[in-house]
Amino acid sequence: MAERILGVDPGFGRTGWGVIEKSGGGDWWAVAWGCIETSAADPFANRLYELHEKLKLIIKKYKPASVAVEDLFFAKNVKTAMKVGQARGVILLTIKELGLSLNEFTPLQIKQAVTGYGRAEKGQMQKMVGMLLKIKNKITPDDAADALAAALTGGVSMRFLRRCGGSENSG
């Protein structure tokens, strides 16, 4: 049976998402990726609701078994960090509302899992994600590439947790 993971790179203006799949012990491959974009002209609460509704549609369409979400690490702008934090809350609530298992990873953990180096630069990450998922062209937008990286990290961690007899982080 195929394993399918949704990766999410949270934001309130643009939230990256990527779905990967592995069947029969083979390599991971990309099913689909993109961004949920909301308009800055809309009230913030409406943007959060739109994020919730569009994420539900993606989950219902691609039917992942689990979701890997990038954790908010730091932000120089407190106002932006708070808004991204609120968007993350909507994302986490949507995932739990639909009964999916959830893993959260810091950017450092994602970089470590994908490249083997926790301080890898964005360009290195994109190249490695493309190589691992056999995507020939540059993955755009960047938020979608970050979401695919989160999904790959979820896949690596699932395998590790199974071997160790652990369980996934259920939030």
Give pLDDT tens digits for 27-48.
899 999 999 999 999 999 999 9
Cite the active site residues: 9, 70, 143
| CA 67 – CA 3 distance, rounded (Å) | 11
> By C-alpha distance, which of 147, 118, 148 is closest to 131?
148
On whether residue 45 sits in a domain, the answer given is: yes
Tens of pLDDT along 11-32?
Answer: 989 999 999 999 776 889 999 9
52 pLDDT more than 60: yes
Number of domains in the chain: 1
pLDDT for residue 7 is more than 90:
yes
Residue ranges of the alpha helices (H) in 39-164?
44-62, 78-97, 107-115, 122-132, 142-164
170 within a domain of the structure (yes/no): no
Residue 119 belongs to some domain of the structure: yes
Residue 169 forms part of a structural domain: no
Q: What per-residue confidence (pLDDT) applies to 114?
A: 95
Fill in the amino acid letter for 138.
Answer: K
Single pTM value for the model: 0.90
Check which CATH number belongs to the domain holding 107 and give it: 3.30.420.10
Q: Residue 84 domain-assigned?
A: yes
Give me the domain span that covers residue 54.
3-163
Instruction: In whole angstroms, give the CA distance from residue 67 to residue 87.
Output: 16
